[in-house]
């Protein structure tokens, strides 16, 4: 059914009536609270609750008067989906109550440029997967045997590792160039200093809505019941530190210095019209990873680099639909051993690369280990990310005149601290 909103929504807005993403805003002298975005406005849900727009059959407590979304997300998919539909109806031309309530609108509708976006959730745990076959093949080709780019387990399990949740920051928060050990050239002796090869990784992440008990597993076909929504995710990497440290246990200092998350959480409900088939998995996966239905999503992604005080240059156009392992498989594998999950956990996809060079989701691939520098609009070149560069990631879905988007995650790299 075609929906329209009485709120003015600019053409090509990410935040249409079909979206209704949730986030945490702060404005004026008020403490942070939950909101949704539509058009150029953030709608303060705490104000709507106080004004009686959520009856007791829907919500009996103001879960929106919170600096994190966890209390609301933890109500579970059945409740949060009903609340989203209720908000969507309030903002649609089907319902005039809020439209005609000028006093409430003046209090609740805040221009986006006047709000400070906060990190939307408290993140107890963070897992990073490695689920793009194109990315894994490119990296394997560069660093190992091109004829055996994928390790033997790659097509059998969604490879992942546990990351550092405390260093995940919201869009707009800068990060400093990390320091660590690295080996230069053919040397086998490490030196210590700032990373010379800082990189972005274009990823998306899903957020879970439930606490499970240790020992319980989530079935692959039930996994989406445990997922509230998705965000854009920049998993910053220091490639020279990573190369030295990743054997035998994997990434450590090369990754834990920071990751950046977009502030608006787009629900799986909003993504429903954009489902697509996943890439064919060959060989056939084990039964606990075999799923029913379409479990991937057509999400168009873009990365731009903006040198300080200069125009941005788009360096990558990719798509989430390329993911070999989908979110349901990732969560099923993550818990099949009895690992418990928590409300607000973040699970990143791994770098999202396509088949063409302009769709590679990292500078490591785009510049092919620095051998093919990228030219910026200001005439400068990039092999990796320079100090004071800002990396901007965007994502949206579009089909049959329906558009929803994630906004952007934007982060500047500052010089290493003394």
pLDDT at 332: 98
Contacts 24+ apart (CB under 8 A), 283-292: 283/155, 283/156, 285/155, 285/156, 285/329, 286/156, 288/219, 288/220, 288/332, 288/333, 288/336, 289/158, 289/220, 289/329, 289/332, 289/333, 290/220, 291/220, 291/221, 291/326, 291/328, 291/329, 291/332, 292/221
Rounded to the nearest integer, the mean pLDDT of the chain is 97
pLDDT band at 153 (very low <50, low <70, confident <90, very high): very high
As beta bridge partners, residue 316 has 303
pLDDT band at 80 (very low <50, low <70, confident <90, very high): very high
pLDDT digits (tens, 9 = 90+) for 351-366: 999 999 999 999 999 9
pLDDT at 144: 85
pLDDT digits (tens, 9 = 90+) for 194-227: 999 999 999 999 999 999 999 999 999 999 999 9
pLDDT digits (tens, 9 = 90+) for 238-264: 999 999 999 999 999 999 999 999 999
Q: How far apart are CA 347 and CA 404, in angstroms?
A: 21
How many Cα atoms occupy the beta-carbon half-sphere of 300 within 13 Å? 9
Q: What percent of the chain has pLDDT over 70?
A: 100
Question: Strand, helix or coil at 382?
Answer: strand
Summarize the confidence of residues 97-111 as an average pLDDT. 97
| pLDDT at 173 exceeding the cut of 80 | yes
φ/ψ of 103, rounded to 5, equals: -60, -45
Dihedral sign, Cα of residue 397, residue 297, residue 319, residue 262: positive
Our measurement of the distance from residue 259's CA atom to the centroid of its chain's CA atoms, rounded to an integer in Å, reads 10
Q: Which residues are marked as active site? A: 135
pLDDT digits (tens, 9 = 90+) for 108-149: 999 999 999 999 999 999 999 999 999 999 999 998 889 899
| pLDDT at 57 exceeding the cut of 90 | no
pLDDT digits (tens, 9 = 90+) for 271-316: 999 999 999 999 999 999 999 999 999 999 999 999 999 999 999 9
| pLDDT at 318 exceeding the cut of 80 | yes
pLDDT at 56: 75
pLDDT at 388: 98
pLDDT band at 74 (very low <50, low <70, confident <90, very high): very high
pLDDT band at 97 (very low <50, low <70, confident <90, very high): very high
* DSSP labels, 325-369: S-HHHHHHHHHTT-----TT-EEE------SSGGG-SBHHHHTTT
């Amino acid at each position: 059914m075609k929906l329209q909103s009485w709120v003015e929504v600019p053409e090509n807005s990410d935040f249409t009536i079909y979206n209704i993403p949730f986030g945490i805003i702060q404005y004026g002298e008020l403490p942070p609270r939950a909101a949704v975005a539509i058009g150029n406005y953030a709608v303060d849900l705490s104000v709507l609750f106080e004004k009686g727009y959520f009856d007791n059959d829907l919500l009996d407590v103001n879960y929106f008067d919170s600096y994190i979304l966890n209390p609301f997300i933890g109500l579970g998919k059945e409740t949060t989906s009903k609340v989203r539909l209720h908000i969507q109806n309030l903002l649609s031309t089907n319902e005039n109550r809020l439209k005609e309530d000028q006093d409430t609108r003046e209090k609740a509708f805040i221009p986006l440029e006047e709000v400070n976006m906060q990190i939307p959730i408290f993140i107890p745990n963070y897992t990073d997967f490695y689920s793009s076959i194109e990315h894994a093949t490119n990296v394997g080709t560069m660093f190992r045997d091109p004829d055996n780019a994928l390790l033997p387990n790659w097509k059998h399990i969604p490879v992942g590792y546990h990351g550092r949740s405390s260093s995940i920051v919201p869009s707009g928060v800068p990060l400093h160039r990390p320091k660590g050990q690295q080996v230069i050239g053919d040397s086998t002796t490490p030196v210590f200093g700032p990373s010379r090869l800082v990189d972005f990784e274009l990823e998306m992440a899903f957020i879970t809505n439930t606490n499970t008990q240790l020992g319980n597993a989530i079935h692959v076909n039930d996994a989406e019941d445990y997922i509230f929504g998705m965000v854009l995710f920049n998993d910053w990497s220091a490639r020279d530190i990573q190369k030295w440290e990743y054997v035998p246990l994997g990434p450590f200092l090369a990754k834990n210095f920071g990751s950046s998350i977009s502030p608006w959480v787009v629900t799986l409900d909003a993504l429903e019209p954009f489902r697509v088939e996943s890439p064919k998995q060959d060989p056939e996966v084990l039964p606990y990873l075999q799923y029913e239905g379409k479990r991937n999503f057509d999400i168009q992604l873009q990365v731009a680099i903006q040198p300080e005080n200069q125009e941005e240059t788009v360096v990558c156009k990719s798509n989430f639909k390329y993911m070999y392992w989908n979110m349901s498989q990732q969560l099923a594998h993550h818990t099949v051993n009895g690992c418990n999950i928590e409300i607000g956990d973040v699970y990143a996809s791994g770098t999202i690369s396509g088949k063409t060079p302009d769709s590679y989701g990292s500078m490591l691939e785009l510049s092919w280990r620095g051998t093919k520098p990228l030219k910026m609009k200001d005439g400068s070149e990039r092999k990796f990310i320079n100090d004071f560069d800002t990396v901007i990631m965007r994502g949206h879905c579009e089909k049959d005149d329906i558009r929803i988007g994630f906004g952007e995650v934007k982060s500047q790299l500052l010089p290493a601290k003394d």
